[in-house]
Amino acid sequence: MFNSSLQQLGSALRAGQISSVELTQLYLDRIAALNPALNAYITTDAGTSLAQARAADTMLANGTAQALTGIPIAQKDIFCAKGWRTTCGSKMLENFVSPYDAHVIGQFNNAGAVNLGKTNMDEFAMGSSNETSYFGTVKNPWDQSRVPGGSSGGAAAAVAARLCAAATGTDTGGSIRQPAALCGISGLKPTYGVVSRYGMIAFASSLDQAGPMARSAEDLAMLLNAMAGFDERDSTSLQRDKEDYARDLSKPLDGLRIGLPKEFFAEGLGNDVAQTVEAAIAEYKKLGASVVEISLPNSKLSVPVYYVLAPAEASSNLSRFDGVRYGYRAPEYTDLADMYEKSRAQGFGAEVKRRIMIGTYVLSHGYYDAYYLQAQKIRRLIAQDFTEAFKQCDVIMGPTAPSTAFKLGEKGDDPVQMYLSDIYTIAVNLAGLPGMSIPCGFGANDMPVGLQIIGNYFDEARMLNAAHQYQLATDWHSRAPQGL
């Protein structure tokens, strides 16, 4: 059961081979057994999950079930879910119970899926290792002395350890793709605006995008079908016709033109990752694809540009956490200003404070032109590089991350080293393009390696097709960590 695809689970549920209550209980038992070590979930609530499962069983019995009805999905703890504690990995929201559903949560509820619990994450989605979570680090299921990646590390670990059928994540600079790579699962960040950000706690609003995390491209397509769609409550949600992201899965890859950015295969990339990714490209050639070298000349500026723009937006978004309306309030203070200061000083962790300070600095009078405005200009150049590249190719491929999962604590004292974990993913967010990561083998210490696939705007169906055909020809995506 734990290795079944979403398609298979849906069929088993509709055929009455298993009920949603039974399936949900199986997962809850597995979470109870394995989560104390892995720490992939911040909150589970068996009563609420099982009540949803019973409702799903009613839909299954009366013929109103949809594709995901009755299937237990883990939700990143960045999504507000009515009646659920929603922490965003922060002490600031430790006791916050959401009074409403995020769009993504609502979409899964409408589909009859079961919310299995809220997954661990870096505080306010700031991090690449899940070590900034107030609720403790998540362990990589392949080697518990290593990080799962971040910020959607709990989601990636939960999928890899079979603690859910599938999960949601969010990706501002790589937070779906990088943990997917480090945990050996598949993850997709859609084109900016395809999935509504309503009720998704804001980090950097012009970059944030929700997406699915699962074991296969086929599962991702099914999840994206549920998540995508216009929502008037998010002003950046795009009004487009509904599409079936699974429509092209079975197309052959003959004639697919793959662009390989020379900047992605240069200094800084681990040899083990380079070799594994090159083997995956060779497999694509066998499947009928052709390869062309491309250049993304400004991509080297994506990390510095991101670390101006994302903190700028974060410093503004996080000003709402002031101890007044909701969230943490310092127990003792002298006056209003002191209450703000103490609540924020005690409620936020070190990385979040670092970002707020950088963001406030680059937006301040005298530095705005020097940093923020310059970064916005380079952001445009980075996007133009992709526009040029897509004149020569249909998809771009390369590594998702420069190395396999590193040791817990290894990069904790060096924020710049940590920031470089996203060197291959961030440009995609700056351009608003869709990107995904799929498992393509194992590198140093037998840890999983991710292949990144970047598509042109709204080309998710083609990317999923490319990923699915590779997964039909290989079995990296169905490998599971041993000993769990």
Of 159, 221, 231, 166, nearest to 195 by C-alpha is 231
Is 9 within 8 Å of 67 (Cβ atoms)? Answer: no
Judged by CB under 6 A, which of 10, 173, 212, 402 binds ligand GLN?
A: 173
What is the closest distance, in whole angstroms, from the C-beta atom of residue 73 to ligand GLN in the complex?
20
Q: Rule CB under 6 A: say whether 400 interacts with ligand GLN.
A: no
Q: Rule CB under 6 A: say whether 171 interacts with ligand GLN.
A: yes
Q: Which two tokens stand for residue 130?
A: 């899940």
**CA atoms 201, 203, 206, 207: torsion sign:** negative
Judged by CB under 6 A, which of 172, 209, 216, 465 binds ligand GLN?
A: 172
DSSP state of 400: S
Q: Which of 20, 76, 411, 421 is catalytic?
A: 76
Of 191, 225, 221, 201, nearest to 433 by C-alpha is 191
Q: Indicate if 139 belongs to the active site.
A: no
Q: Please report, as a single letter, which amino acid is at residue 55.
A: A
Is the CB of 117 or the CB of 173 nearer to ligand GLN? 173
Q: Rule CB under 6 A: say whether 174 interacts with ligand GLN.
A: yes
Q: Which stretch binds ligand GLN (CB under 6 A): 165-173, 179-187, 296-304, 383-391?
A: 165-173
What is the closest distance, in whole angstroms, from the C-beta atom of residue 429 to ligand GLN in the complex?
7
Q: Indicate if 175 belongs to the active site.
A: yes
Q: Rule CB under 6 A: say whether 194 interacts with ligand GLN.
A: no
What is the Cα–Cα distance from 15 to 403, expressed in whole angstroms? 43
Is the CB of 422 or the CB of 460 nearer to ligand GLN? 422
Q: Which stretch binds ligand GLN (CB under 6 A): 36-44, 97-105, 119-127, 450-458?
A: 119-127
What is the closest distance, in whole angstroms, from the C-beta atom of residue 171 to ligand GLN in the complex?
5
Give strand pairing partners of 451.
399, 438
Q: Please report, as a single letter, which amino acid is at residue 259.
A: G
Binding mask 306-335 for ligand GLN (x = CB under 6 A): ----x-------------------------
Q: Rule CB under 6 A: say whether 131 interacts with ligand GLN.
A: no
Q: Rule CB under 6 A: say whether 212 interacts with ligand GLN.
A: no
Is 171 within 8 Å of 152 (Cβ atoms)? Answer: yes
- Strand segments (E) across 17-175: 41-43, 72-76, 114-119, 166-170
Q: Which stretch binds ligand GLN (CB under 6 A): 166-174, 243-251, 278-286, 439-447?
A: 166-174
Q: Which stretch binds ligand GLN (CB under 6 A): 124-132, 296-304, 321-329, 465-473?
A: 124-132
CB atoms near residue 319 (< 10 Å): 13
In the chain, what is the straight-line distance between the N-terminal and C-terminal CA atoms, in Å? 15
Of 266, 278, 257, nearest to 390 by C-alpha is 257
Q: Rule CB under 6 A: say whether 434 interacts with ligand GLN.
A: no
What is the Cα–Cα distance from 397 to 404, expressed in whole angstroms? 17
**How far is C-alpha 260 from the geometric centre of its chain's CA atoms?**
23
Q: Rule CB under 6 A: say whether 151 interacts with ligand GLN.
A: yes
Q: Rule CB under 6 A: say whether 175 interacts with ligand GLN.
A: yes
Is the CB of 303 or the CB of 484 nearer to ligand GLN? 303
CB atoms near residue 381 (< 10 Å): 14
Q: For residue 357, what are the contacts with CB-CB under 8 A and spacing of at least 6?
A: 315
Judged by CB under 6 A, which of 10, 112, 117, 127 binds ligand GLN?
A: 127
Q: Indicate if 129 belongs to the active site.
A: no
Is the CB of 31 or the CB of 318 nearer to ligand GLN? 318
Is the CB of 101 or the CB of 422 nearer to ligand GLN? 422
Q: Say which residue the tokens 């990714």 belong to.
A: 277
What is the closest distance, in whole angstroms, from the C-beta atom of residue 174 to ligand GLN in the complex?
5
Q: Say which residue the tokens 């002395």 belong to.
A: 145
Is the CB of 117 or the CB of 127 nearer to ligand GLN? 127
CB atoms near residue 267 (< 10 Å): 6
Q: Rule CB under 6 A: say whether 246 interacts with ligand GLN.
A: no
Is the CB of 125 or the CB of 200 nearer to ligand GLN? 125
Q: For residue 477, what are the contacts with CB-CB under 8 A and spacing of at least 6?
A: 184, 185, 186, 215, 216, 217, 438, 439, 471
Q: Which two tokens stand for residue 392?
A: 């020569």
Q: Which of 19, 98, 133, 151 is catalytic?
A: 151
Q: Is 401 left (phi over 0), alpha (psi -120 to 50) or beta?
A: beta
Q: What separation in angstroms does the CA of 481 have from each of 53, 158, 161, 478?
A: 28, 12, 7, 10
How is 136-194 classified by DSSP, letter by letter? -PPPBTTBTTB---SSSHHHHHHHHTTSSSEEEEE-SSSTTHHHHHHHT-EEEEPPTTS
Q: Rule CB under 6 A: say whether 125 interacts with ligand GLN.
A: yes
Binding mask 411-430 for ligand GLN (x = CB under 6 A): -----------x--------
Q: Rule CB under 6 A: say whether 126 interacts with ligand GLN.
A: yes
Of 322, 339, 465, 334, nearest to 395 by C-alpha is 465
Q: Which stretch binds ligand GLN (CB under 6 A): 5-13, 31-39, 125-133, 180-188?
A: 125-133
Q: Rule CB under 6 A: say whether 113 interacts with ligand GLN.
A: no
Q: Which of 98, 128, 133, 175 is catalytic?
A: 175
**How far is C-alpha 188 from the geometric centre of its chain's CA atoms?**
7
What is the closest distance, in whole angstroms, from the C-beta atom of residue 149 to ligand GLN in the complex?
9
Q: Which residues bind ligand GLN (CB under 6 A)?
A: 125-128, 151, 171-175, 203, 310, 422
Which residue numbers are catalytic? 76, 151, 175
